[in-house]
Amino acid sequence: MATPLPAAAGAILPFPTRPSAAPLLLSPPHLAGGEAERVRETLEAGWLAPAGPAPAAFEAAIGAVTGMGEVLATASGTAALHLGYRVLGVEPGDEVWAPAMTFVASVAPAVQMGATPRFLDVVETGWTLDPGLLAEELSKAARRGRLPRVVVPVDLYGQCCDLDAIVAACDRWGVPVMCDSAAAMGATQRGGRHAGQGARLAAFSFNGNKIVTAGGGGALAGEDTRLLARARQLAGQAKEPWPHYEHETTGYTYGLSSILAAVGLAQLPALAARVARRRDVFARYVAGLADLPGLGFIAEPAWGRANRWLTVLLVDPAPFGTDREGVRRALLAGGVESRPAWKPLHLQPAFRDAPQAGGATAAALFERGLCLPSGTGMTEADQARVIDLIRACARA
Ligand SMILES: *Cc1c(COP(=O)(O)O)cnc(C)c1O
């Protein structure tokens, strides 16, 4: 007889998302309700391969939500970024520019392709790539005769970067923009356009910790039919359209499985509600903590609406009484997971030799930034407990 699988804390049970004794996690997956039926339908129709109706339907649904004309579902957000770097023609020795404040996956595939990353500082409002600095650095790079092959701004923690300004700066020099919108499903920028719209390519993630998930997966999206068709071909081992296996180049197994696409299809309809809920979580942290001296939050620029994937608390140790590590340890002792904000890439040992422009803002945000539990399945009582634990750290 088959032994049932053990229930993973926060991963299987629909409501609440975890047994009450388990630690409160940063951003556990949150079931929407229809996942099991969707997976059953897909299996019963005989689809196990990364082909068939579920991935195609998932692509259409992502297109409908994001307003992007061409969508390729991928095995991960990182795979989408890798395909994007390939179709934009990144080669060994090329430069790829990214904000200093981001997750390593934004540039990892390009580095593995032999490109050199250059890290530019971020603006304090929204923590995203500084378009003014970018414009200056592009002018300098043009004078050096070494423009980047691609600029990769990031919608950090679900806050859209100033994509219009970034694209305008890059257009001047004919440099393509690929937006890392991995954490930004449901976030909008100027004119209510979805995150990533306006970039040549945008990458999304449906990893288990994101606002909606497929249990792993991603998407590459844009308007350029030729680029997306090329990415699709590379995602399927670069097979040429012949009966035998013919390859003019090499590719990857980067398609999204039907099973995961089915999960993603059940999650996407919940996106708007999930954004509203994450924004409520953020608002409750602000209401519960903003009166304490030395605490702050990422400000939302007037032109964009963040999905508030993770609430990031800023701790100024002198007025508050302890630093972000003190808060993190106090939360851990209380059974609550939290995590320092991304350690900037220009400070990472892996990129010790990478060129950079600025970086002081990103470094300061890392010193003070702490990601708080922000899951949509978190109860108000749980969040009140987090707030109490943080309040107890304040200077008496
Ligand atoms: C999650 C994330 C990624 C990677 O997505 P995966 O699906 O985990 O590969 C890339 N960039 C950012 C900013 C992310 O938050």
The answer to whether 35-269 and 270-395 have equal CATH topology is no
pLDDT more than 70, % of the chain: 94
135, 137, 140, 146: CA torsion to nearest 10: -110
Task: Tell me which CATH code domain 270-395 carries.
Answer: 3.90.1150.10
Task: Please give the distance, rounded to the nearest whole angstrom, from the Cα atom of residue 158 to the centre of ligand 1.
Answer: 11
Which atom of ligand 1 is the closest one to the Cα of 209?
A: 1
103 lines ligand 1 (CB under 6 A): yes
pLDDT in tens, 53-98: 999 999 999 999 999 999 999 999 999 999 999 999 999 999 999 9
pLDDT in tens, 101-139: 999 999 999 999 999 999 999 999 889 999 999 999 999
* pLDDT interval class at 396 (50, 70, 90): low
Task: Please give the distance, rounded to the nearest whole angstrom, from the Cα atom of residue 104 to the centre of ligand 1.
Answer: 8
| Number of residues written out for the chain | 396
Which atom of ligand 1 is the closest one to the Cα of 309?
A: 15
Q: What is the DSSP letter of 358?
A: -
Domain chopping of the chain, boundaries? 35-269, 270-395
pLDDT for res 293: 96
pTM of structure: 0.94
* Residue 117, helix vs strand vs coil: strand
Out of 3.40.50.300, 3.40.640.10, 3.90.70.10, 3.30.70.140, the CATH code matching 35-269 is: 3.40.640.10
Task: Please give the distance, rounded to the nearest whole angstrom, from the Cα atom of residue 105 to the centre of ligand 1.
Answer: 6
- Of 205, 212, 220, the one to substitute when testing ligand 1's pocket (max ligand atoms within 8 A of C-beta) is 205
Closest-CA residue, ligand 1 atom 12, reads 182
- Could you give the CA distance from residue 364 to residue 193 in angstroms, rounded to a whole number? 30
218 lines ligand 1 (CB under 6 A): yes
- Of 26, 27, 78, 220, the one to substitute when testing ligand 1's pocket (max ligand atoms within 8 A of C-beta) is 78
pLDDT in tens, 231-289: 999 999 999 999 999 999 999 999 999 999 999 999 999 999 999 999 999 999 999 99
Task: Please give the distance, rounded to the nearest whole angstrom, from the Cα atom of residue 32 to the centre of ligand 1.
Answer: 21
pLDDT for res 8: 52
pLDDT at position 370 over 70: yes
